[in-house]
Chain A
Amino acid sequence: DAKTTQPPSMDCAEGRAANLPCNHSTISGNEYVYWYRQIHSQGPQYIIHGLKNNETNEMASLIITEDRKSSTLILPHATLRDTAVYYCIVNAGNNRKLIWGLGTSLAVNP
């Protein structure tokens, strides 16, 4: 599975959009981009995933570049409850093991 690179930490003001980048330059054609987050002392929570088209759900938007080598997770109106570690993972299917990096620790400030 392809490796991902994320900045270790980011800050965002409450109410503003949070844009979290992820590089996955070695992604294969059959690999999806998944985003999860982990709030302190809880299990990971799924946010969104996509293959090549941009995706949007009630939590976030996912923008994938045309060459698929990077993506951006957008939280449109960040709240204090969005403070968490955000993980970008590329994976070819649901029964494949997920490789977790260190993610991006997002701090949403009042």
Chain B
Amino acid sequence: GNSVTQMEGPVTLSEEAFLTINCTYTATGYPSLFWYVQYPGEGLQLLLKATKADDKGSNKGFEATYRKETTSFHLEKGSVQVSDSAVYFCALSNFGNEKLTFGTGTRLTIIP
């Protein structure tokens, strides 16, 4: 079946630091990959997505590249801000399997 593994948190960084949150997946075929973000007290919001190998999703300075050879979709940002503090979820969906499979989430805290 499908599964998503993302790095354990919490992650604490200083403002303007470089961010990487690792995500690897197990799936058959050609899944679509997503990063969702959850700010305190809110529901999840789609941050970015990629639907085929070597695609790069990007939004709000965040990027992730769909690497089929390593089954990975790591989230990166070059310079984080305090407002990026949130929980980040990696997820996948697969054609014919009508479910989004989520990782367990990584809590990110940015300190000024």
* A and B form one complex: no
Residues in chain B within 8 A of chain A (CB atoms): none
Residues in chain A within 8 A of chain B (CB atoms): none
